[in-house]
Amino acid sequence: MASQLVFIDSSVLIAAARGVDPISQRALSILSHPDFRFASSQLVRLEVLPKALYTNRTVEADFYQAFFAAVYRWISLTTAVFDAAYTEAIRYGLSAIDSIHLVSAASIQAELFFTVERESKPLHRTQLIQMISITPESTNI
């Protein structure tokens, strides 16, 4: 199987770094999948790393830094991304950050978008990219 370019939502990184529940185990399995290449943006980095560093959660911060060091493709947050994110947010009722992540991932042709958001949430309404929820009740993992 050829490797796939995947976008990892910050919620998946947080689950992997902090827990031992079924969601955390799923997150770790995705992050260690040999056929996945990871895409990310400085916005994801900003969502997870500063708080871990500020609160001296060294193990968690090291985990995030290891992930970011292994990112295959960094996404540029351009005006075009923000304009498209605005449109996507209006169309599907998305939050600002979720719409930016979705459009960013789609802009580089990422094939999959992993999140902890439940399938009933607005994030899963998009048609830009294949969404995969790692919640235990998920039907798409």
Instruction: Give residue-wise pLDDT tens across range 20-73.
Output: 788 999 999 999 999 999 999 999 999 999 999 999 999 999 999 999 999 999
The phi and psi torsions of 114 (rounded to 5 degrees) equal: -95, 135
User: Residue 6 in contact with residue 114, Cβ under 8 Å?
Assistant: yes
Let me know: does 84 contact 103? Beta carbons within 8 Å.
Answer: yes
Structure confidence by residue, pLDDT tens digits, 60-108: 999 999 999 999 999 999 999 999 999 999 999 999 999 999 999 999 9
Q: What is the mean pLDDT of residues 130-140?
A: 82
Task: Specify burial of residue 30 (Cβ count, 10 A radius: 0-12, 13-18, 19+).
Answer: buried
Q: Burial of 127 by CB count in 10 Å (0-12 exposed, 13-18 middle, 19+ buried)?
A: exposed
Residue type, 116: V
Looking at residue 120, its pLDDT comes to: 84
pLDDT for the residue 135: 86
How many whole angstroms separate alpha carbon 18 and alpha carbon 57? Answer: 10
Residues 6+ apart with CB under 8 A from 72: 5, 37, 38, 39
Q: Report how far residue 35's alpha carbon sits from residue 118's, in angstroms, rounded to the nearest whole number.
A: 24
Residue type, 29: S
